[in-house]
Amino acid sequence: MDLIPVPQHATVDEEGRRYAFGPRPVLAAGPGAEGVARWLRRELGAATGWELPAAGAGARGDVRLAVDPGRAEADGPESYRLTVDADGVELTGADAAGLLWGAQTLRQLLGPAAYRRAPLAGPAGWSLPYVSVADAPRFGWRGMLLDVARHFMPKDGVLRYIDLLVAHKLNVLHLHLTDDQGWRIEIARHPRLTEVGAWRPRSRWGHRASPLWNDTPHGGFYTRDDIREIVAYAAERHVRVVPEIDIPGHSQAAIAAYPELGNRDVVDTAALGVWDDWGVNENVLAPTEDVLRFYEEVFEEVLELFPVEVSPFVHVGGDECPKAQWRASPAARARIEELGVDGEDGLQAWFIRHFDGWLAARGRRLVGWDEILEGGLADGAVVSSWRGYGGGIAAAEAGHDVVMCPEQRVYLDHRQADGPEEPMPIGYVRSLEDVYRFEPVPPKLSAEAAAHVLGAQANVWTEVMESQARVDYQVFPRLAAFAEAVWSRLPEPESRDYEGFEARMAAHYARLDALGVGYRPPTGPLPWQRRPGVPGRPLEGAPPIV
C-alpha cells in the first residue's frame, strides 16, 4: 500500500481480493460521524459520482462510520481502525477527528482519481483492496505556518491549504497575520490597520540584497467574515487555527497606520509607510500603557473571531525585536526605570508577560517564538523553537510545552536542492530526504522533558513566494515527508526507510497532480517554476544542529 503517512499497522489480503462498489453505494453513519459523512459525500462524491445515500433501517451499508470513544484509552486520541472485506468498509474512530483521518486513508486506497473534482468515468468501477489498518498519530500538534503577511494569500487559497493539510493528516494551521510588510486581519475598532496597513507600494524581488523590485502595489486582508469562514471551515475538518499578531517587533505596518504606536521621540513615525523590504525592521512598538490598551482591543476582536474551541492557542510573535530605538528613547529609558526591568531586554519581556497573563485570564494559551524565554514565562506559555532545537530543549527542561520548528530543519522557504535553477534560493538545502529524517524530539531530552514536546510544524515564510504557485513549489512534496515524520512512529532518523518512502511517493505525486498542486518534480523545477536572474541567499554546507 502506498499510504502517506505510513500507518502503525496495516495488512493486505494475500489473495489480492477486492471489494467492488456498485453504482449506488450507501453510507451508514453512527452518532458523532455526521461531519465525516458530509465530507465523504462532498469530496468522494465529486470524484466518484456517488451520492452515498444514507442506509435504511437495518441495512448494513457499503461504507459504515462509527465513533467509539472507548478506543481512545487503548489506541489514543485521533486514532482510527479501517477494515475492508467482503462486507464493505468499516471505519471506526476514537473521536470524530480520528474518523476523518481514517477517511483520508480510505481516499488514498481508492487511488489518485479519488482526488478529482469530477468523475473520470461513471460511478461504477471503483474498488478497494481487502485491508486492515489500525493507526494513531505520534503527536497532537502537527502543523504548518502559512505567512500571509509578506505576500497575501486570498481566502480561497487558505481554504485550499486547509484541505491539503487534512489530506496529509495535519491538524494545525498557524496563520502569520501581521508583520512589517502588511496587516491582514480586519479590526473594527482600528480600521486603519487594514485601510493603510494592508497595502505596500512595491516589494523587493528576491532576497533583501537583490537590486530588483516588483513595482506592482501589493496587499489584501481578510474581513471579519472571511476569518469566520476560515475558522469554521477548519473546525469542520478538525484543524486548529493559531492566529499570530506580532508584538513588539515586526510592527511597521501597524505603526504606519497608527503612528502613535511607535517611538515618536526618536523617529518621525508619521512619515513611515508599510515596509516594502525584507529582513529585520528597526521600527518597534513603544513601551507604553496606551500601546498595551490598543493591542488588548486588537486581541479582544481576535479572540471573538477565533473561538477557543478551534483556537485555544494565540501566537504573539515576540521575536527579532531590535532595541536601538528603545536605547535612544528617553521615554523608553524612563519606562525601564519605572517598571524596574532589566534594560531593553526587560521591556520586551514586559510586553510578553503582560499578554501572557491577559490571554490566560481569558482561557487562552500564549505561544511565542523562542526569544520569549529570555524574560521568564508563565507556566501555560508555549514556545515555538525556531532558531534551532536549543530554545525548545531549554523550555521543555524548564517545564514549558514546546512546538519544534527549527529553521535549519523544517523551514520550507529554504531551497530544496543545490544548483542555479532553484528559484530565489534561500538558506540551506533541505531536500525531501532531509525533511523525512527530521526528528522533533532531540535525543538529549529527558523523558519528562520530552513529554512537553507537543509536536512540530513546518514553517512557510513567503518573502520570496509571491503567488500560490510559488508556495506550492516550496511546500510540496516536502510537506508529505514532514507529515510522516510527525504522524508516524518512525525509527531514529538514520534508520528510516527513505527508499520505501520515495517509492510510495510515486503514487502520492499522482494524488498531488489530481489536486492541482504545483510541486517541485523530483527531477528539478519546470521551466515556469524557475526565476532566472533573481538573487537569493543560499547557505552552503550542512546546517548546524543548534
Active site residue 400: no
Options 68, 75, 179, 434, the catalytic residue? 179
Options 151, 168, 250, 452, the catalytic residue? 250
Type of residue numbered 456: A
Sequence-separated contacts (24+) of 215-221 with Cβ below 8 Å: 218/151, 218/152, 218/182, 219/152, 219/182, 219/274, 220/152, 220/154, 220/182, 220/184, 221/152, 221/182, 221/183, 221/184, 221/185, 221/186, 221/194
Sequence-separated contacts (24+) of 110-113 with Cβ below 8 Å: 110/44, 110/47, 110/48, 112/507, 112/510, 112/511, 112/513, 112/514, 113/47, 113/514
Q: Which three cell numbers stand for residue 364?
A: 487562552
Q: Which three cell numbers stand for residue 323?
A: 532595541
Options 2, 229, 236, 320, the catalytic residue? 320
Type of residue numbered 141: W
* Bridge partners of residue 404, in order along the sequence: 385, 456
Cα(520)–Cα(53) distance, integer angstroms: 39
Cα(482)–Cα(150) distance, integer angstroms: 23
| Residue corresponding to grid cell 450507501 | 26
Rounded to the nearest 10°, the torsion over CA 343, 344, 348, 353 is 10
DSSP codes, 63-115: EEEEE-THHHHHH-TT-EEEEEETTEEEEEESSHHHHHHHHHHHHHHH-GGGG
Active site residue 95: no
* Cis omega (within 30 of 0) for bond into 248: yes
How far, CA to CA in Å, does 363 sit from each of 297, 309, 366?
16, 11, 10
Active site residue 250: yes
Q: Mind telling me the catalytic residues?
A: 179, 250, 320
